[in-house]
Structures are given as structure tokens and as C-alpha cells.
Amino acid sequence: MKSVFIRTTINGKTYELDVRPNMTLLDFLRDELGLTGTKRGCEVGECGACTVLMNGQAVNSCLILVPQIDGQEILTVEGLAEGEKLHPLQESFLDHDAVHCGFCTPGMLMSAKDLLDHTPSPSEEETRAAISGNLCRCSGYQQIVDAIRETEDVRSQKSK
């Protein structure tokens, strides 16, 4: 099996390296780069725990082969905060007690970011649809929906 050369941007940092092609993006992030914020759940694209953004769109990193990120831009949960300053979504999740066991949280945050980037003032229904690919095993969905809809940027959009 020949390795494959890729050039990719992950959380704003450029990587140029040879990768084994029979590895998923999820395994690459966790095992090769140590970015363990992205969680390994079902590995068949049903739980959403491994959700990351690829070119700004929410995707299941368990369903992408690592050579497929060549030339693409990836954002993981580790790329949300700026230094010590949490992303407004993360602040809102804390404010709303939207984190229970926390396992679904990274994936929820990434699906929520995709939603808010494209729909600044989502309805409750739009919000629920946006996280329909993310399972919360603690079933704390209402707090998560509230947290997304009442994120700081969203509120300022609403008041405009």
C-alpha cells in the first residue's frame, strides 16, 4: 500500500505529510494529530459525535478517507476558541447547561456552527433539523437547542 501525499489546513494550520490511505479523517485527527476533541462514536455516520467542518460544511469525519482532505480546509472543535477565549457557541452551551456527559458536545458545536454560519437567526425547527444528525445520549436536547438559538451573535442579529 503506497502512502499518499496531502496538503491540508486544519484549524488554520497547514499540514503537508504522507498518509496511509486506509485511515479515516476521524482516526487521523485523533491518532495522528492528537486532536481528541472529535469523538469516536458509531463510526457509521449515525451519531454525529465525529462531526467536523470541511470547507465550512458539517460532515462525519468517520466517513471520509484521509487522502480526501487534500486541498480542503478542516475545522475541529479545537479550532473554535481563540486562545483562552471561548467561541460564543461554547459560552452559550455553558450558560444553558447544554453539556451533560459532554460526549456529543464537540459534534453538536460543529453542526451548530454550520447552522449559524449559514442561518444567523434559526427557528427552533431549523435548529432541531440542523442537529438531527447528532445524538445526545443524555437526551438534553432542549438545552442544546436553546443554547444554539441564544448564542451571543444570534441574539445581536435578532435585535438588529
Partner 1 sequence: MKPFEYHSPRSLPEACALLAEIGADARILAGGTDVLVEMRKPGSSSSKAVVDITRISSLKGIEESGDEIVIRPLTTHAEILRSKIVEQYAPLLKSAVAGIGSPQIRNRGTVGGNIMNAAACADTVPPLIALNAKIKLLSSRGDRTVELSEFFLKPYATVAQRDEILVEIRFPKLPSSARSSFIKLGRRNALSIARLSVAAIMVKTEAGVVNDARIVTGAAFPKWQRVPEAEHVLLGQKPSRTLFDEAGNKVSEALISFTGRRWSTEYKEPVIAVLVRRALEACK
What residues make contact with partner 1 under the rule CB under 8 A? 1-2, 4, 20-24, 43-46, 48, 51, 54, 57-60, 62-65, 67-68, 70, 111, 114, 129-130, 132-134
What single-letter DSSP state applies at residue 33? S
In the complex, what is the shortest distance from the CB of residue 142 to partner 1, in angstroms, rounded to a whole number? 17
Q: Strands 4-10 and 73-75: what pairing?
A: parallel
In the complex, what is the shortest distance from the CB of residue 140 to partner 1, in angstroms, rounded to a whole number? 17
In the complex, what is the shortest distance from the CB of residue 102 to partner 1, in angstroms, rounded to a whole number? 20
Q: Which residues are bridge partners to 4 per DSSP?
A: 19
In the complex, what is the shortest distance from the CB of residue 160 to partner 1, in angstroms, rounded to a whole number? 25
Q: Which is nearer to partner 1, 121 or 156 (CB)?
A: 121
Q: CB of 148 within 8 A of CB of 131?
A: yes
Q: CB of 115 within 8 A of CB of 149?
A: no
Q: Which is nearer to partner 1, 94 or 129 (CB)?
A: 129
Distance CA 159, CA 89 (A): 18
Q: CB of 114 within 8 A of CB of 55?
A: no
Record the cell numbers describing residue 64, joined without a space.
471520509
Q: Which is nearer to partner 1, 70 or 152 (CB)?
A: 70
Q: Which is nearer to partner 1, 13 or 138 (CB)?
A: 138
